[in-house]
Amino acid sequence: MTSTELRASLERTIENIADFPKPGIQFKDITPIFLDPKLYEAVIDDLASFSKGKIDAVCGIESRGYLFGIAIAVKLEVPFILIRKKGKLPPPFVAQSYDLEYGSSEIEMREGQLKPGMRVLVHDDLLATGGTTEAAGKLVEKQGAKVAQFSFLIKLRGLGSETKLDLFGAEQHSILEYD
Ligand code: AMP
């Protein structure tokens, strides 16, 4: 499948649900991708070829970042490390807080799984404001590793993610972009 065919196929497959989970949000439902194993495989091929030879580990963001992140890591034969939401991991773990629309939250990773100097791909299914991904990048760098790349299936433009992610100086890739 060419990248043009992949984009067209994903555009047909991903469902847009208006006003979910609240008014004004255009929710992108990626679950129909898993009904089509060939399409899923083409997504993994695309994301893995972006990262091939450039990373030593994949960090996936809970929970939809796991669905593709693990497959990328297996294909590239590098470790996969889970970034979890607060309160799910046993100690020892490292944490990073970040601001939400109202209040703040934290993400966590088991201590010692990421080694200093590792070149890391931070992966999630979708980039919106970039708040979660920025926190994931800070969590990686706190441990002496380097964010080498960010990848997403979908990037929503105009929500301010560029100002947050460009500071890492990492390569970025998304298969689809929406305004
Ligand atoms: P953000 O921190 O704003 O970049 O939000 C990214 C996280 O929220 C990702 O893990 C996405 O899965 C989820 N998310 C944000 N906006 C949407 C949307 N419009 N459709 C589906 N998921 C979304």
Ligand 1 centroid distance, CA of 127 (Å)? 6
68-117 pLDDT, tens per residue? Answer: 999 999 999 999 999 999 999 999 999 999 988 778 999 999 999 999 99
Q: Residue 27: CB within 6 Å of ligand 1?
A: yes
Task: Give me the percent of the chain exceeding a pLDDT of 90.
Answer: 97
Task: Give me the percent of the chain exceeding a pLDDT of 70.
Answer: 100
Q: If you search the block for the tokens 């931070």, which residue do you land on?
A: 122
Q: What's the pLDDT at 15? A: 98
Q: What's the pLDDT at 52? A: 98
Give the pLDDT mean for 136-143: 97
Ligand 1 centroid distance, CA of 154 (Å)? 9
- Token digits of residue 104: 């703040």
Domain limits of the chain? Answer: 54-178
β-partners of residue 18 are 26
Q: Which atom from ligand 1 is nearest to the alpha carbon of 64? A: 12
- Token digits of residue 45: 């091929």
DSSP letter (8 states) at residue 35: G
Q: What is the mean pLDDT of the chain?
A: 97
CATH class assigned to 54-178 = alpha beta
For the annotated catalytic residues, the residue numbers are: 64, 101
Amino acid symbol at 75: K
